[in-house]
Amino acid sequence: MQRTVGPWQHGFMKTSAARSHGTRRLGPALALVALLAFGAFGAAGELAVLHRVLAADRPSGQAEPTAPCDAQAGVRCLPRPGAAADAPPTASRIGIETTDCRLGCEAFTAIFTPDGSFTYHGEANVERLGDHTGRVDATALRHVMRLADEAGFERLDDTYPSPFLDGQSTYVMVEWARQTKVVMAAAGAEPATFWALKTLLLDLLASAEWDE
């Protein structure tokens, strides 16, 4: 015998379905509110939980195919170590130059290529004066060069002046196949992207192996 569903029952089922869907949507939001409410108290795994909450309702991108491996049946392969770092940067050279100042600032020019080699000219107040060459960690350097692409270095202004008359100026250069961009920032007036590239290049230079 076929059971007849009345109009009021149709409305109840629609309301229940909507409530169920709304509950699924509301769960992550309530969890996020709870995390933010207790955000003043750091806890182990807090950011991992927050990531899961925020990512729960967002569609994820298509995963890139991974290279096959020789793992046993039923065992998943880990990504090949350094696989992401092997991707070549689009830039062919990246460089940094700093100027002298009244307080005796270091003045030099260093130009790096993706294989880790660099040329260096010490101008003033540095350990190595004149022309030198050396090598830095090529993997780390390629990350820095790709950062220039991903952070939009080519969209920065050419000049970031400072009201201070005698502060040190820093130049960062990125050279691509059809474009060269040089940005100057004076006395700490740099935007975050410039500051990050400058700091990373200086760190690489500090741990360089010199050809002498």
The two three-digit tokens of residue 144, written as one number? 């820095």
H helix and E strand count, the chain = 4, 8
Percent of the chain with pLDDT over 90: 48
pLDDT in tens, 121-156: 999 999 999 999 999 999 999 999 999 999 999 999
Better pLDDT: 170 or 72:
170
**Cβ-Cβ contacts under 8 Å for 187 (sequence gap 6 or more):** 162, 164, 167, 168, 169
What spatial distance separates the first Cα and last Cα of the chain, rounded to whole Å?
96
Better pLDDT: 136 or 85:
136
Is the domain spanning 86-210 CATH 3.30.1560.10? The answer is yes
Better pLDDT: 41 or 119:
119
Can you tell me the distance from the alpha carbon of 184 to that of 104, in angstroms, rounded to the nearest whole number? 19
Q: Mean pLDDT of all residues in the chain?
A: 78
For residues 112-126, average pLDDT: 96
Task: Tell me which residue of 164, 98, 165 sits closest to 125, measured CA to CA.
Answer: 98
Question: Which pTM value belongs to this model?
Answer: 0.66
